[in-house]
Amino acid sequence: MDERHRQHVAAWLAQVSGGPKTDSGEHGGHHHMISRHLGRSITEQQRRKWVNLLLDTADEVGLPADPEFRASLVGYLEWGTRLAVIMSAPGVELGDPGPMPSWDWALPPYQPPA
């Protein structure tokens, strides 16, 4: 991985959880982030390891351990990493992924247009 990957992930996670829009402003946002996964053939084993690393990091930095917070965080990470696996498959073409999905306590990160 590119050595700047950690910084990009931190900017992305901050933005989707309501923080500054650094990812969109400095790193190209949602479209760029998804494009970086194209053709990488991410495996389920790699996806699970990545989720576990993010959850270990959440523990290390002292994010809340209460069940509601962790269930919401895990839900968003599961959604995002499964999307990364889908987008990394051979032959996938990027189209318009839309705006950066944001994390919400009550809603999944993506809601189809009404």
- 2 with 61: CB under 8 angstroms? no
pLDDT tens digits, 42-99: 999 999 999 999 999 999 999 999 888 888 889 889 988 998 898 899 998 877 767 7
pLDDT band at 3 (very low <50, low <70, confident <90, very high): confident
Cβ burial of 41 (10 Å; 0-12, 13-18, 19+) is exposed
Q: What is the value of pTM for the model shown?
A: 0.76
Given a cut of 60, is residue 110 above it in pLDDT? no
User: What percent of the chain is predicted at pLDDT more than 90?
Assistant: 26
Nearest to 7 by CA among 20, 23, 19, 18: 23
CB-CB neighbours of 97 under 10 Å: 16
27: Cβ contacts below 8 Å, ≥ 6 apart: 8, 11, 12, 33
DSSP code at position 48: H
pLDDT tens digits, 26-54: 777 777 777 788 888 999 999 999 999 99
Task: Locate the domains of the chain by residue range.
Answer: 1-36, 41-91
pLDDT band at 2 (very low <50, low <70, confident <90, very high): confident
